[in-house]
Structure 1
Amino acid sequence: MTCVLLFKLFLLLALSDTCQGHRLSPTSHLRYSRFLDPSNVIFLLWDFDFEAEIITFELQVRTAGWVGLGISNRYTVVGSDLVVGGVLPDGNVYFSDQHLVDEDTLEEDGSQDAELLGLTEDAVYTTMRFSRPFRSCDPHDQDITSDTIRVLTAYGLDDTLKLDPERTFVKSIFLLQIIHPDDLEVPEEIIIHDLEITDFLIPEDDTTYACTFLPLPIVSKKHHIYKFEPKLVEHNETLVHHILVYACGNASVLPTGISDCYGADPDFSLCTQVIVGWAVGGTSYQFPDDVGISIGTPWDPQWIRLEIHYSNFHSLPGRLILEVLGIISCIYDTSGIRIYYTSHLRKYDMGVLQLGVFTFPIHFIPPGAESFMSYGLCKTEKFQEMNGAPMPDIQVYGYLLHTHLAGRALQAVQYRNGTQLQTICKDDSYDFNLQETRDLPHRVVIKPGDELLIECHYQTLDRDSVIFGGPSTLNEMCLVFLFYYPRNNISSCQGYPDITYVAHELGEEVSDPMEGTMVMNNIEWTPENIKKAERACKESQQIVLIKTIDEVVENTTGWIPDIIPTPRGPCLESSGGKVEPQDETPAGFRVAPVVLSGSTSAALEHLPLGALLFLQGTLSWLLAMLQTEG
């Protein structure tokens, strides 16, 4: 009897030790949070379990009526899923997984894929907590992925389930953030330094690129920058489109003052190796605990170029005249990047590699296109030679995606020896107004000789003229910034198509790239010609430009490889609803995971090898003891 009790005790200890920390319980602390409306009436908390592919939400709304949370697509709320709930005056609760059949009508799903974890109402808030799979087998449920997710939320003043536009909101969020800031170490010694433009008078132009050159902090020994954040002047946030910090080669002769980055003076476009960057919708970013930007050694940059892109679409004048009061007021800006650095060094020095389509007018996107793809190729075979020293493998841990207003999706794909290896990063639901540095779920290794392909997907139904590559927000870009370690001297690797070949395929006779670019304005952009241009851009030879931090440039050529789509994983069958036969997907489906505490056999399936061996050894010992006692 004693041995049986000991066996049970060993089993419980092993199970409890291995079941902690990996799965969310109904009352777990939720790490992420965000207000979802301008008035801060709706507050969302969430967290997720990658292994189980389950996400948990808690919605807190200042109302005594119903509340709802779901996922919408880019263009319309029709078809969106919405999980709704509330507390009736008699204290009973209601909860349902629904979808929008039109802009204000809800209908209950045949498959109930959301699990209620709590629903309360007090004098101020209605609070609803529930979980749902990343991907259910119900076609009415939108998938939750690492893409930009457009979170739909709504509420009512009473328990009548009807949408009111004044209480319905959509906000873009990266729900599946890999690293939470609270999980990162904060050094004991922290020094703050601001890299900022000073009292810059914002012009009336719709696009301004203001550049100035600034020294990095002067330190007597090596330090690491481990975090950065935007420094924006209140009321000017809507004018600042992006801020980039470029490292300068120590042999560069730099100009003084503030000027147009890409204007008459070419010196203001010197320095092209990005070290940190911020764009619309972004916040602060802290590097993983083992990497940082090195400063203070002879090999580190001593100066940077600060570039601030202003988008002044409302033509707000730099000088505002208040005629009634006779007051002249000017819009000055002192924005920039705040960096945090420390003498407590990390393991690796990090760098940033800029990929995509080279930003100039040979990159074009036709008007009226439902869909148009652009491609930028990078061939790394010359990296070792251009680096000037033996170069280890590139270890990529994060990325930043960037297009302008016509961009809909981006992806970076890796090839080795002519074979597609993997998709490094992607976003099939890109939002221009949410551009943040994101962490990869696992680090990607790029070896010398690998090819990297950037694909950008555009839609231009709202344009009536060709969009060319360029710096204005009304121009376009196709860029991916890879954050990696250990640092090397390569700053960018970008491609662009042979525009003369593209023009010939469209039936135009041209003799040089300038003519090829200009003739794009003469094309009748029918759907057939749009597809013909897209195909020609993909089939043409790509010119690849590789640049180092010291502005050394080399060209090579290559061809765009095909991209094999990543297959979708299986959907998760609801444990509480039903899945209709027509809802089953080609990828198959699997049942919802069993909660560990409810099934010993399910728990044993998830035990690590060490725990299983321990249990096996313990069981053998106990059996021997039992035989001895017998």
Structure 2
Amino acid sequence: MSCLSMKSLLFLLSIPCLCSGQPLPLALRFSTFLDAAKVFHLHWDHDENEVMTFELRVRTTGWVAFGFSLHGKITGSDIMIGGVHPDGSTYFSDWHGVNEKTIEEDESQDYELLSLTEDKTYTTVQFRRYLRTCDPNDLDITIDTQRLIFAFGIDDTVQFFKGQRMVKSLFLMLVQSPDGYKQPSVSLEYDLKLNDFAVPVDETTYACTFIPLPIVKTKHHIYKFGPIITPRNISLVHHILVYACGNHSVLPSGVSDCYGADPDFALCSQVLVGWAIGGGSYQFPDETGISVGTPLDPKYIRLEVHYSNFDLIPGLIDNSGIRLYYTPELRPYDMGVLQTGVFTFPVHFIPPGADDYKSYGLCNSSQFDEVNGAPVPDLHVFGYLLHTHLAGRGVKTVQYRNGEQVRFICEDRMYDFTLQETRDLKNEIIIKPGDEILVECSFQTLDRTGITFGGPSTLNEMCLSFLFYYPRNNISSCMGYPDIQYIAQQLGQEASDPMEGMMAVNMVDWDNDTVKSAEKAAKDADQIVVIKTIDVSNFFWSGQDNPTGGARAPGLGLAAAGPEAVTLWSTSATTRPSGSNQKA
């Protein structure tokens, strides 16, 4: 649709402004407070005409501002400013940020006012705009994380740079509101949490313990989960993961470092549910849930809580975890979670001084049937959770079939470490056995002088995409990593094995040219694919050439990964997906 026709349609769809009356009775599905003090309350919704409608209720009788920013800065921002004068007249207009000290009113006014009212406590403004206005001074509303910028004053003298101004990351293109799901008539709750855990005085801690799932006499479905965060520790808890354990696992007791001296605390690798900083509760679609109570279902889980105590605060006691909501009212399908992306250890690295460095992890599902122990049905993917650490700037997950790109499964080009949440896909997508899933992560390390390696610390990096799907199978993860020897050789280093390859890249004199060379080499290199299952068994090494002509799996030292079944093989760079060069 052209810009002219879009604006003409918006004019035709316009609703008379009830500026001095009551707000229009809009049925907006989504809402949240934008700030901890609950001064700003936002309702919003979007429709099939690519129009987004907002209602902003602010605890002030002065001016209010709301808009979008690329990186939380004023420069290049897209802002609405409005309010009600003491005489009852209103003002409302569309502005943009010229620099960090100047804003200007737009020549093209692309925010349509629906209602603007004020009482003794609140100013309420209802307005709408197109997701894409075609105005170069406006920012598009996309399927990425949005940086919202909002401000207010105590009177109607607009002083934007002197008012109370804040920034918040929010995903606006939500698919389903909580009210849109079926609520079971019988609902039970069960908490998986740590009990009075003394958080160590360390920058990074991974605390793990093993907890039984609810004991039920008949099959039940977990249909929802949410975080339990000790209020005073909300800034310390980075993420919480719940892993299903195989029923033949011999599990340790107590609480210990997940990835420390005792490898038993790293047992269990199939993610059931996960929460990360900035996220909230999540309810599964009506047709699926996590099965508990049958002989095939896990009886125990591993709870993993990641703390980031950068200020080294002593004496902290924590009781954080996950609350499960479950019901005897069964859904048609059991669901699972497939972890994809870059196999984190030992060969993931990001060079220093990079503005936009891309890492790639490939999942080739052609051996799913063999690893699963039975034919794997099509995966119906309905949701996702993307995960990197502090250097991450973007994540995309792409599906390929027979060497051709099928679709982008999910992506976030404006990824924010402080907002990691499970999100619904607009439409379910189907992954067939034999399909390939490529995860591409973009990293920025301009402020770092040394290599950033993959690892559990917040200052290390990860590149992961968790796909929520049904019906459940036995595969817990399918991840890949590039041939590090090839990368080292392309950087002019000698390496006869993967360990020498990692040592060699640490010897590179990094500049713009070597960063680009490393990224190209990582993209061109063969990918070693690692598949894990929930079942405890011996390692399974495919030890065979991939049908695409890849090299024999090198068999890196993965014995420490735990007793879950693992399959490795290489896939040739000449036929594997080429990542970001493909078009959606």
Alignment TM-score, normalising by the size of structure 1? 0.82
Q: Once the 2 structures are TM-superposed, how far is the Cα of residue 335 of structure 1 from its aligned partner? A: 1.3
Residue 67 of structure 1 is matched in structure 2 by 64
Tell me which amino acid in the other structure corresponds to 1:403: T
Deviates more, 1:395-404 or 1:330-339: 330-339
Query: CA distance change for structure 1 residues 383 and 567 in 2, over 3 Å: closer, same or farther?
Result: closer
For the 8 Å contact 1:105–1:163, the answer to whether it is kept is no
- Cα–Cα, structure 1 residues 565 and 236, in superposed 2: closer, same or farther, change >3 Å? same
Task: After superposing the two structures, state which structure 1 stretch, 138-147 or 58-67, moved more.
Answer: 58-67
Name the SS for the 1:552 alignment partner: strand
Corresponding residue for residue 260 of structure 1: 257
Q: Do residues 308 (structure 1) and 305 (structure 2) align?
A: yes
Separation of aligned partners in 2, 1:217 and 1:230: 17
1:370 and 2:355 matched? yes
User: What is the match of residue 33 of structure 1?
Assistant: 31
Residue 4 of structure 2: aligned partner: none
Q: Identity of counterpart residues, as a percentage?
A: 60
Residue identity opposite 1:552 in structure 2: A
Match of 1:454 in 2: 439
SS in 2 for 1:522: coil
Partner Cα distance (1:86, 1:282) in 2: 32
* Cα distance in 2 between the residues matched to 1:253 and 1:240: 28
Question: CA contact under 8 A between 2:74 and 2:98: conserved in structure 1?
Answer: no
State the partner residue of 2:420: 435
1:13 aligns with none
Amino acid at match of 1:281: G
> Tell me, what secondary structure is at the counterpart of 2:44?
strand
> How much has 1:76 moved relative to structure 2?
2.0
Question: What CA distance in whole angstroms lies between the structure 2 residues aligned with 1:28 and 1:470?
Answer: 47
1:612-623 matched pairs, under 5 angstroms: none
- AA of the residue aligned to 2:157: T
Higher relative helix content: 1
TM-fit CA distance, 1:565: 6.7
What SS is found at the alignment partner of 1:549? strand
For residue 201 of structure 2, the aligned residue among 198, 201, 204 is 204
The answer to which of 402-411 and 25-34 deviates more is: 25-34
Q: Which residue of 1 aligns with 2:41?
A: 43
For 2:169 and 2:251, locate their aligned partners in 1 and report how far apart those are by CA, in whole Å: 40
Q: Which residue of 2 aligns with 1:504?
A: 489
SS of residue in 2 equivalent to 1:557 = strand
Mapped partners of 2:94, 2:219: distance in 1: 55
The count of corresponding residues between Structure 1 and Structure 2 is: 532
Corresponding letter in the other structure for 1:239: L
**How many Å apart are 1:563 and its aligned residue?**
3.5
Pick from 488, 500, 505: which aligns with 1:515?
Answer: 500
The SS at the match of 2:520 is: helix
**Aligned to 1:386, what secondary structure does the other structure show?**
helix
Task: Describe the shift of the 1:75–1:151 C-alpha distance in structure 2 as closer, same or farther (beyond 3 A).
Answer: closer
Confirm or deny that 1:463 pairs with 2:448. yes
Q: How does 1:409-420 map to 2 (within 5 A)?
A: 409-420=394-405
1:105 Cα offset (Å):
2.4
* Greater relative contact order structure (CA < 8 Å, 6+ sep): 1
Aligned partners of 2:348, 2:414: CA distance in 1, in Å?
Answer: 22
**CA deviation string 1:205-259 (max 9, x = no partner):** 1111111111111111100001111111120111111110000111111111111
- RMSD, matched Cα: 1.6
Q: 1:334 aligns with which of 319, 329, 354?
A: 319
Q: Map residues 140-159 of structure 1 onto 2, 5 A cutoff.
A: 140-159=137-156
Q: Does 1:555 align with 2:568?
A: yes
Of the candidates 52, 77, 95, which is equivalent to residue 55 of structure 1? Answer: 52
Shift of 1:42: 1.7
Amino acid across the alignment from 1:133: Y
What is the CA distance between 1:74 and its match in structure 2?
Answer: 1.5
CA contact (8 A) 2:205 2:308 kept: yes
Partner of residue 160, structure 1: 157
TM superposition shift of 1:280:
0.4
Distance 1:248 1:461 in 2: 40
Q: Which residue of 1 aligns with 2:543?
A: none
CA contact 1:248–1:303 (8 Å) conserved in 2: yes
1:159 deviates by 2.6
Report the residue type matching 1:33 in the other structure.
S
Structure 2 match to 1:483? 468
Aligned ranges 1:104-253 → 2 under 5 Å: 104-164=101-161, 167-253=164-250
What SS is found at the alignment partner of 1:338? strand
Q: Which amino acid aligns with 1:197?
A: L
Describe the shift of the 1:333–1:564 C-alpha distance in structure 2 as closer, same or farther (beyond 3 A): closer
Partner of 2:556: none
Aligned-pair distance for 1:44? Answer: 1.4
Q: Which runs of 5+ in 1 are unaligned?
A: 1-18, 20-24, 318-329, 569-630
How big is each residue's C-alpha offset from its partner over 1:492-540, in whole Å with a ceiling of 9 and x where there is no partner? 0000111111111111112211121122222111011100100011011
SS at structure 2 position matched to 1:378: strand
1:396 and 1:485 in contact (8 A); partners too: yes
Question: Helix, strand or coil for the counterpart of 2:515?
Answer: helix
Q: Which amino acid aligns with 1:532?
A: S
